[in-house]
Amino acid sequence: MALRPPSRGLLILGIETSCDETAAAVVRNGLTVLSSEVASQVRTHAPYGGVVPELAGRKHLENLIPVVKAALDEAGVEPRDLAAVAITSSPGLLGALLVGTTFAKSLAMGWSLPLVEVNHLHAHALSIFIDRRRPRFPFLSLVASGGHTSLFEVTSPLQLKLVGRTRDDAAGEVIDKIAKFLGLGYPGGPVIDSLARNGDPEAVRFPRGLQRSRTSDFSFSGLKTAVVNHVLGSHTIDGPLADHYAPPLDEQARCDLAASFQEAVVDSLVEKTIQAACDRNLATIVVSGGVAANSRLRIKMTAAGSSAGRRVLFPSPRFCTDNAAMVAGAAAPLVREKRFSSFSFRPSARMKDGH
Q: Which residues here bind ligand KG4, judged by CB under 6 A?
A: 19, 145-147, 172, 175-176, 187-190, 193, 289-291, 293-294, 321-322
Nearer to ligand KG4, 30 or 147 (CB): 147
Residue 157 binds which of ligand KG4, Zn ion, none (CB < 5-8 A, kind-dependent): none
Q: What is the DSSP letter of 166?
A: B
Query: The dihedral of CA 156, 161, 164, 168: what is its sign?
Result: positive
Q: What are φ and ψ of residue 319, in 5° steps?
A: -100, 0
Of positions 322, 324, 326, 330, contacts Zn ion by CB under 5 A: 322
Nearer to ligand KG4, 81 or 271 (CB): 271
Nearer to ligand KG4, 79 or 317 (CB): 317
Residue 273 binds which of ligand KG4, Zn ion, none (CB < 5-8 A, kind-dependent): none
Q: What are φ and ψ of residue 300, in 5° steps?
A: -70, -35
Any alpha helices (H) in the chain, and if so which ranges? 42-45, 53-75, 94-111, 120-125, 171-181, 188-196, 221-233, 251-279, 295-307, 317-320, 325-336
Instruction: Give the DSSP letter string of 335-347.
Output: HHTT-PPPTT---
Q: Which residues contact 48 (CB under 8 A, 6 or more apart)?
A: 186
Residue 218 near residue 268, CB atoms below 8 Å = yes
Instruction: Give 293's Cβ-side CA count (13 Å radius).
Output: 21
Residue 199 binds which of ligand KG4, Zn ion, none (CB < 5-8 A, kind-dependent): none
Q: How near is the Cβ of 119 to Zn ion at its closest, in Å?
A: 11
Nearer to ligand KG4, 28 or 122 (CB): 122
Q: How near is the Cβ of 190 to ligand KG4 at its closest, in Å?
A: 5
Is position 145 an interface residue for Zn ion (rule: CB under 5 A)?
Answer: yes
Residue 291 binds which of ligand KG4, Zn ion, none (CB < 5-8 A, kind-dependent): ligand KG4
Distance in Å from the first CA to the final CA of the chain: 41
Nearer to Zn ion, 125 or 210 (CB): 125
Nearer to ligand KG4, 82 or 313 (CB): 313
Residue 321 binds which of Zn ion, ligand KG4, none (CB < 5-8 A, kind-dependent): ligand KG4
The overall longest dimension of the chain from CA atoms, in Å, is: 76
Helix (H) or strand (E) holding 162: strand 159-165
Nearer to Zn ion, 37 or 322 (CB): 322
| String marking each residue 253-282 x if it binds Zn ion according to CB under 5 A | ------------------------------
Q: How near is the Cβ of 346 to ligand KG4 at its closest, in Å?
A: 20
Binding site for Zn ion (CB under 5 A): 145, 322
